[in-house]
Amino acid sequence: MPVPVIFGKPIQVWLGMILAIFLAWQIFSGFMVVKGKPQYMKRHKAVVWLIIAIASAHIYFGIRSWFF
């Protein structure tokens, strides 16, 4: 089964970018909603930055392999 192509790139690349936007939106909107102890908030920030770092590395290698 052929992979759909949009603007010369596979659909997985575009869906990955949309997923990255939704992931960032969910993390930061959840961070603004969460109320709790300062200790919990510090840990939450660390976990959020870790998730962002992992997602950013994944996005970087994915975009690099398809666009450059």
Instruction: Judge whether residue 14 has pLDDT over 70.
Output: yes
**Residue 25, pLDDT score:** 82
Mean residue pLDDT across the chain: 77
Between CA 9 and CA 7 the distance in angstroms is 6
For residues 57 and 34, the model is more confident at 57
pTM as predicted = 0.50
Phi (first) and psi of residue 37, to 5 degrees = -70, 150
Closest CA to 64 of 16, 27, 6: 16
Q: Structural domain boundaries of the chain? A: 5-67
Q: Model confidence over 43-66: pLDDT tens digits?
A: 777 887 888 888 888 878 877 776
Q: How confident is the model at residue 36 (pLDDT cuts 50, 70, 90)?
A: low
